[in-house]
Structure 1
Amino acid sequence: MTRQLTLPEFLRKMPKVELHYHLLGGVRMNTMLDLAKKYNEPLTEKDAKSYYRAFAHENEVMKGGIAALNFLYPLLRATEDYERVAYEILEDAKNTGVRYVEFFWNPNDTEIPYQEVTLALAKVFEQAEIDWNISAYLIPSINREKTPEEAVEMVTWMINFPHPRVLGIGIDYREDNAAIEKFWKAYRLAAQNNLRLTGHCSEFGLHWRNVETGLDLIGLERIDHGYTVVENAELMARCAKEAIPFTVVPSNTFFMKKWPNHSEWQINHPIRQMAKAGMIIIPATDDWHMHDTNGQKCYQSMIKDFGFDLDGVRQCILNGINAAWQPETTKAKWRQEWLTEFDTLRAQLIEEPQFDNAFHTPYQLNNH
């Protein structure tokens, strides 16, 4: 077969899952401006740019993802606003090879009833599946900056209005003063009603015990972030042995600020340490437009910044399929079709990435 794909083209085309994506983190800047105009909310283009890394400058403060969510949730005041956002996000996703998405969103942060937003998003998801062959589902997420009682209220909404596009619950926002155990009642209620469980733990350099608590007290099936697990060798070995999936984000702002020189990532970054320890990691984008990333850029970082070869990339894709909250029959089909497609596209590469220094030595990930 004639080789014709560059590496960026290959990474864009290869089929992939996205298990850690905040719905409103994917809002296009023009959409934010349009919605502000629609509701007569003051927002200049300069202010809008402050939420998006692509427009960040050294002499200006980037407000970042959480600030963007705090601005956007009150701004989306009609179900049609959610429909527009969902349609545009899925269009962006399918253009970078994403075939399956599980979206976090925060029902307690919107004034629109949970049932109405769920139905509006599901309508778009169903159309996208027909038009683009991309599957999308929802993970209502606890805003841990709110009260545990509000978290229980969110789970109660989910129980009272079950929907096949809603898979389980998560937890996000600032973890500093809101460790996951505060929300045990909401998680227990969700588990009792057969909802799947994941949660943001040990982000922003916070203690590894939040991962341990998430696993042992809350019963999480997946961990989102979880980077300080590398500070506890016993816990890291346990997570590898038990094949606990971790969704990891190459564009995570904490480590970008800690090590602005990406060459340091090749030595120090937890993502590399987690992979070398044989843990199950799934690269994720978190907030596409806020973080100036996408499905292609995410995997480019795995190669450039963390030294993954294409066998490692393939393993990450397999990890994502295995960790998706879908029936085994569906995932078996994806494993067969998507990995075959990956191999076919790989055969068309003009040249595979070369590793010419010690930090780029490819390593073999455990095949769980």
Structure 2
Amino acid sequence: MTSTAASTTELENFVRSLPKAELHLHIEGTLEPELIFALAARNGVALPYASVQALRAAYQFTNLQSFLDLYYAGASVLLAERDFYDMTMAYLRRAQADGVVHAEIMFDPQTHTVRGVPMETVFAGIARALREMRDTTGMSGCLLMSFLRHLSEQDAFDTLDAALPLRAQYADVWTGIGLDSGERGNPPEKFQRVYARCRELGFRLVAHAGEEGPAAYVRDALDLLHVERIDHGVRSEDDPALIQRLREQRIPLTVCPLSNLKLCVVDSLNQHNLARLLRQGLCITINSDDPAYFGGYLLENYLASAKALNLSREELATLAENSLHASFLPAARKQELVQRLRDGMGPARPNRGDEPA
């Protein structure tokens, strides 16, 4: 083995050993082409692709919308509870192998209910996988039911109303609310009323902002939607006052580097601003977004970022620790996992003292 290969393997083992949370993951975006074809065959769904290879070749995106078109087509094979279970379990096993100890999974019920799939079917399949992993391996997880922002706020209200009767049944896993899909033409203010309702109901709140949308969307997500965490947020750097606020208030950004590269948010990974923002003291986390489509699960995102941005081991450990602090885990569980991470880093690992609660 060459010294370069040895150092790559050593880095991979180090990153895998870090206890970390994944906070920005769309479960429908974990559908690998092989599973799409298997579910299509099981459910009698005709796909407009001749083979797994032809489908994988279609994963060439020019922008967010061209990706979303394929994403929704892939989701068409999800019809039964077993399908949602199989999809979620495949992701959880992969994530655990990458060192993920906690996953906060976004799912888009509107993508499925519009096709006639019952809300209960979606919840039941995903929750069964989360509970099975929790009970058999100790890996925890929760659900962030996400509204599609290209649809109306009324559609979001209708989705919330349809899901609320299931809340007690899934209280152990359904934690929060998210907002995803295309930002352009769909500012945070469009969903201000439904987010106010979700806040009254006690849900934890996150929202996509500042991916293809401007820094103003990040500010509005904080001020109008009252989110606790910003998904993406890379455009925040265009507003120095916003950056100062994010740093001072320790508002987490769930950054997805390989997604940003694939969707041309950045031209090359070595131009990504995650390291710059991290070094300015922001609470940056690394996540995989839609890993089946963007060419990398959590471990690949860490490794690619480490190589492209010259991240030190200390910085990689800080990213992992940030993910634990930024999670919606109970405080005691957070501290337990943070201590495990620090113990693994040895006595030189500092206590920052400014982590979010």
| TM norm. shorter chain > 0.5 | yes
- Equivalent position of 1:196 in the other structure: 204
1:310 aligns with 2:313: yes
Q: Give the 3-state SS of the residue equivalent to 2:257 in structure 1.
A: coil
Q: Give the 3-state SS of the residue equivalent to 1:257 in structure 2.
A: coil
Q: Give the 3-state SS of the residue equivalent to 1:126 in structure 2.
A: helix
Equivalent runs, 1:50-199 vs 2, <5 Å: 50-52=57-59, 65-110=67-112, 111-162=116-167, 163=170, 164-199=172-207
Name the amino acid aligned to 2:70. Answer: A
Aligned residues: 339
Alignment deviations for residues 35-74 of structure 1 (CA, whole Å, 9 cap, x no partner):
2223241332244113546xx9xxx999964233211332
Name the amino acid aligned to 1:26. Answer: T
CA RMSD in angstroms, aligned pairs only: 2.7
Uncovered stretches (5+) of structure 1, i.e. residues with no partner? 348-364
Name the amino acid aligned to 2:310. Answer: G
1:334 aligns with 2:333: no
TM-score between both structures, scaled by the size of structure 2: 0.87
Q: Distance in 1 between matches of 2:265 and 2:128?
A: 41
Q: Give the 3-state SS of the residue equivalent to 2:264 in structure 1.
A: helix
- Equivalent position of 2:290 in the other structure: 287
Q: Give the 3-state SS of the residue equivalent to 1:174 in structure 2.
A: coil
- Equivalent position of 2:35 in the other structure: 31
Name the amino acid aligned to 2:242. Answer: L
Equivalent runs, 1:266-277 vs 2, <5 Å: 269-277=272-280
Q: Distance in 1 between matches of 2:252 and 2:214?
A: 19
- Equivalent position of 2:10 in the other structure: 6
Q: Give the 3-state SS of the residue equivalent to 1:282 in structure 2.
A: strand
Q: Indicate which of 299, 304, 312 corresponds to 1:301.
A: 304
Contact 1:104 1:140 in 2 (8 A): yes
Distance apart, 1:112 and its partner CA: 2.0
- Equivalent position of 2:235 in the other structure: 228
Q: Distance in 1 between matches of 2:147 and 2:241?
A: 29
Name the amino acid aligned to 2:88. Answer: A
Q: Distance in 2 between matches of 1:275 and 1:258?
A: 18
Higher relative CO (Cα under 8 Å, sequence separation at least 6) belongs to 1
Uncovered stretches (5+) of structure 2, i.e. residues with no partner? 1-5
Q: Is the alpha carbon distance of 1:256 and 1:180 closer, same or farther for their aligned partners in structure 2, counting shifts above 3 Å?
A: closer
Q: Is the alpha carbon distance of 1:108 and 1:142 closer, same or farther for their aligned partners in structure 2, counting shifts above 3 Å?
A: same
Contact 1:83 1:124 in 2 (8 A): yes
Q: Give the 3-state SS of the residue equivalent to 2:309 in structure 1.
A: coil
Name the amino acid aligned to 2:206. Answer: T
Q: Give the 3-state SS of the residue equivalent to 2:217 in structure 1.
A: helix
Name the amino acid aligned to 2:225. Answer: I
Q: Distance in 2 between matches of 1:61 and 1:184?
A: 26
Q: Distance in 1 between matches of 2:257 and 2:135?
A: 31
Distance apart, 1:304 and its partner CA: 1.3
Q: Report percent identity of matched pairs.
A: 21
Distance apart, 1:178 and its partner CA: 0.7
Distance apart, 1:107 and its partner CA: 0.7
Q: Is the alpha carbon distance of 1:34 and 1:160 closer, same or farther for their aligned partners in structure 2, counting shifts above 3 Å?
A: same
